[in-house]
Structure 1
């Protein structure tokens, strides 16, 4: 079982991770809002692309940003779930077996839900 000090340390880390994910999501939203004025970023006078490669690059950049958004959203959900488990007194216990998750695993991944040996069993 985790000591109160360990739980406090993990809670602090989780709150930092939450803040970072929320910042990333906000940054994505701000970038999406700027898309209404794409020409400001590219310096183009017209919205008509002069080269097909520009369209591909723009599409790639949008998809890359969407991937970052999805990763930040998933991270935020995982962190919120870990904080909820902490409030319920279930943090640090495997959701599969109820056994304690080793401290080393929690240090590497504070949002861990399972022990490593339980993940390998499912694969």
Structure 2
């Protein structure tokens, strides 16, 4: 079981991760607000593309930004779930077996829900 000191350290780390994810999502949303003025986003003077490759690059960049947003959103959900488990006294215990998750795993992945062996079995299914 985790000591109170360890729980406090993990909670601080989770809150920091939450802030980072929220900041990433907000940054993306601010960039999307610029969509109304596409030229501000691309730095182009004219709204007519000079080359078809420019359109492809812009499309690639938008897809990449969307991927980063989705990753930040998933991270935020995982962190919020870990904080909820902490409030309920279930943090650090496997959701599958109820056994303690090794501290090394939690240090590497503070949002871990399962022991490594259990996660591997779940991913194989």
- Establish whether TM, by shorter chain, passes 0.5: yes
How many equivalent residue pairs? 123
Q: Distance in 2 between matches of 1:14 and 1:37?
A: 36
Give the deviation of 1:41 after TM superposition. 3.6
Structure 1: gaps of 5 or more residues: none
Structure 2: gaps of 5 or more residues: none
Give the deviation of 1:48 after TM superposition. 1.4
Q: 1:49 matched to which residue of 2?
A: 49
Give the deviation of 1:2 after TM superposition. 0.4
Q: Does 1:65 align with 2:86?
A: no
1:68-87 deviations in whole A, cap 9, x for unaligned?
A: 00000000000000000000
Q: Distance in 2 between matches of 1:105 and 1:73?
A: 22
- TM-score by length of structure 1 reads 0.96
Equivalent position SS for 2:97: coil
Q: 2:21 matched to which residue of 1?
A: 21
**Aligned ranges 1:1-123 → 2 under 5 Å:** 1-122=1-122, 123=124
Equivalent position SS for 1:48: coil
Kindly report structure 1 stretches of 4+ aligned residues shifted beyond 4 Å. none
Equivalent position SS for 1:99: coil
